[in-house]
Amino acid sequence: MTVFSNGSETANLVASSGLLQQLWTANWNLYGNNDPNERLRFQVYSQENYNILAFVTSPLTLQADQADLASLSTLKEKFPVFELLCSKNNPTFAINKATILLFASYHNILSELKNELCKGPPYKPLIITGHSLGGSIASLFTLWMLNSMDLSKTKRPLCITFGSPLIGDHCLHKAIFQSQTWKSCFLHVVTNQDPVPRILLHHKPAHQKGVYKPFGTFLICCESGSACFEDPDSILELLAATASHGAQSQNPYQAMPSVDYGPVVENLYHRTFCKGATELVDWAKQPFEVGIIRQLQAIGVAQPQQQNIDIINLIKREKQLVSKTKLFDPSKKLNDMKIYMVYLEWYKKLSKNDKTGYYDSYKEKKGTCEFNVEVFKKELTNYWKDMVKEAENKPQKEGASFRIRWLGAGTNYRRMVESLDIAEYYKENKLNYETQGRSHHYIRLEAWLKEWEELLKEENNSGGKQNNSKKESVASILTIDSCFWAKVEEAIILCNLLKTEKFGAEEKVKKLKDFESYVWGLLTNYEVSSEIFLTGSSFMKWWKDWKAYKKTLGSSFTSPLDDFMESREYVDYDGGNWSPPIYTRPF
């Protein structure tokens, strides 16, 4: 398929939409509001369909080491909020010191503002804007908002900054880049005349490693036109290359000039219905390359004499970016996964007919099955491991909504397949699956289900499914606790130990009694598959052992499960006709 580069179309869209003028005016007006003592000024402008929140700072000079990056870990106490940005695979990041200090000193006021803006419904969409260091504050505030908003209910905010210095390190970039939605909220406008966005470009802090790395989309503009880039390395290269004389390499500790973006955006606005200055002849053979070169021409860096831009590499990177961001869509494979689950379901059914149950069939590799269960198990496991990883890579808030969507299918998978993993584990005579052998993705899937159920409970206090229908369908369900069989195996081991060694018997008996009441609990809620009562099942083996042991202890050990097992009530349970007896004395 032919690939195109649409940077200049994006730039055109932004320029002709009139948004930039509107936002710049909001910033500019704020400079007129006097209170020179206030280092940070902001205001909400209410528009018909959305609000604009603008930030500017009073004229500023960086002090001491304020051009450096401050790692989040050193700031943790003041900013628990930004921890939310971190994901498991990207635990920390660093932010420019001056920015974070300024943000910190206004933390309480900004927090109030945020709460005010997040209030709803109805939610009014929000554009956050800022100039210079005010732009950096706008970016941080936007990240904060993104964490607090429920993006399924409200439109995501848009952050457009003018001449903002670079803000964070590569970890911050990565944290934002991993979320398609988050990175789509930032547009940074930079003119070739402005030194401020470039002061931290080559800044090497004295005692720290790490350099600045941009995030979001950059709209780089000059007299002759504008261009949009997203790849951070391309942006760094172009920020340097487009700098006009005087904007090139200002010392970060000089007073920051205040560049007026009014004429810049006005010029862009006017250019939209004029043709570009340069025309290419050989345009159709490599549309992507031509698209990039057109953009470089527009910002005046495509001339052959331009030595500081590696055009070939830049094109390569941009192309990679396009292919990399082909959206991850797990739904495509979901139908395949459903098919694999049907195979396993069939396997389960066949094993039930063998009077063994699929857990023990798999463990003993008994029974004949025309297909290879392991292949399906492996495919499913790989798929769900990837899904869990994907969810963990996202910032917490967004990861949550991703998880909810796939949780149903994931839970089904866990309840079906984890038993097979347990079977393999205990077949190798290992111990303590739950604490030592359990795969990470099962733990996450289970934790997410718990979170989700908590949430549901808070929302509507409903007790879940009607017991009646649970009762009828109990023969075909998957046991709710996917670690059920691990608990059975441990109980069998305990029984065996009781036979051979007398030491610590009391504790073992207590554990076994706990297990027994755990099973009873599952039964009364119809949460365990009736398969466990098949003659060849490990559970029945345990029961035989345990019953025998209990006999040696005398009759004081009767339990509801005894009655249930002795009078073969599990036949009714399997048939969907069993109701738990009502006991007057507590068990």
User: Which residues of this protein are in contact with another protein, per CB under 8 A?
Assistant: 1-6, 8-10, 12-14, 16-19, 49-50, 125, 127, 155-156, 158, 180-181, 183-187, 216-217, 230, 269-270, 272-276, 279-280, 283-285, 287, 290-291, 294, 321-322, 325-327, 332, 335-336, 338-339, 342-343, 345-346, 349, 464-466, 469, 473, 476
Provide the token pair at 280: 């290419």
Q: How far is the CB of 216 from another protein (least distance, A)?
A: 8
Q: How far is the CB of 321 from another protein (least distance, A)?
A: 8
Q: How far is Cα of residue 201 from the mean position of the Cα atoms in its chain? A: 29
Sheet with 186-191, edge to edge strand ranges: 40-46, 51-57, 126-131, 158-162, 186-191, 217-222, 225-229
Q: How far is the CB of 437 from another protein (least distance, A)?
A: 30
Q: How far is residue 244's CA from residue 256's CA, in Å, rounded to a whole number?
A: 16
Q: How far is the CB of 423 from another protein (least distance, A)?
A: 22
Provide the token pair at 109: 């006021």
Q: How far is residue 491's CA from residue 518's CA, in Å, rounded to a whole number?
A: 12
Q: How far is the CB of 449 from another protein (least distance, A)?
A: 14
Encoded amino acid at 506, one letter: E
Q: How far is residue 306's CA from residue 428's CA, in Å, rounded to a whole number?
A: 66
Query: Of 321 and 497, which has the nearer Cβ to another protein?
Result: 321
Q: Which long-range contacts (CB under 8 A, 24 or more apart) does 330-333 make?
A: 330/383, 330/386, 330/387, 330/390, 330/406, 333/383
Query: Of 244 and 476, which has the nearer Cβ to another protein?
Result: 476
Q: How far is residue 415's CA from residue 408's CA, in Å, rounded to a whole number?
A: 11
Query: Of 344 and 491, which has the nearer Cβ to another protein?
Result: 344
Q: How far is the CB of 178 from another protein (least distance, A)?
A: 13
221 three-state secondary structure: strand
Q: How far is the CB of 281 from another protein (least distance, A)?
A: 9
Query: Of 60 and 298, which has the nearer Cβ to another protein?
Result: 298
Q: How far is the CB of 49 from another protein (least distance, A)?
A: 8
Buried b (16+ CB within 10 A) or exposed e, 392-430: bbbbebbbbebbbebbebbbebbbbbbbbbbbbbbeeee
Q: How far is the CB of 370 from another protein (least distance, A)?
A: 9
- Tell me which residue of 239, 221, 244 sits closest to 314, measured CA to CA: 239
Query: Of 479 and 538, which has the nearer Cβ to another protein?
Result: 479
CB-based contacts of 175, cutoff 8 Å, min separation 6 = 85, 86, 87, 90, 93, 395
389 three-state secondary structure: helix
Using an 8 Å Cβ cutoff, are 119 and 146 in contact? Answer: no
Q: How far is the CB of 442 from another protein (least distance, A)?
A: 22
Query: Of 92 and 412, which has the nearer Cβ to another protein?
Result: 412
Using an 8 Å Cβ cutoff, are 352 and 358 in contact? Answer: yes
Q: How far is the CB of 334 from another protein (least distance, A)?
A: 9
Beta bridge partners of 229: 218
Query: Of 69 and 298, which has the nearer Cβ to another protein?
Result: 298
Buried b (16+ CB within 10 A) or exposed e, 290-305: bbbbbbbbbbbbbeee
Q: Which residue has the tokens 């739950």?
A: 434
Query: Of 64 and 274, which has the nearer Cβ to another protein?
Result: 274
Query: Of 17 and 248, which has the nearer Cβ to another protein?
Result: 17
Query: Of 72 and 220, which has the nearer Cβ to another protein?
Result: 220
CB-based contacts of 103, cutoff 8 Å, min separation 6 = 110, 137, 140, 141
Provide the token pair at 215: 């995030």
Query: Of 202 and 465, which has the nearer Cβ to another protein?
Result: 465
Query: Of 208 and 286, which has the nearer Cβ to another protein?
Result: 286
Q: How far is the CB of 468 from another protein (least distance, A)?
A: 9
Query: Of 274 and 312, which has the nearer Cβ to another protein?
Result: 274
Q: How far is the CB of 290 from another protein (least distance, A)?
A: 7
Using an 8 Å Cβ cutoff, are 492 and 548 in contact? Answer: no
Q: How far is residue 250's CA from residue 265's CA, in Å, rounded to a whole number?
A: 24
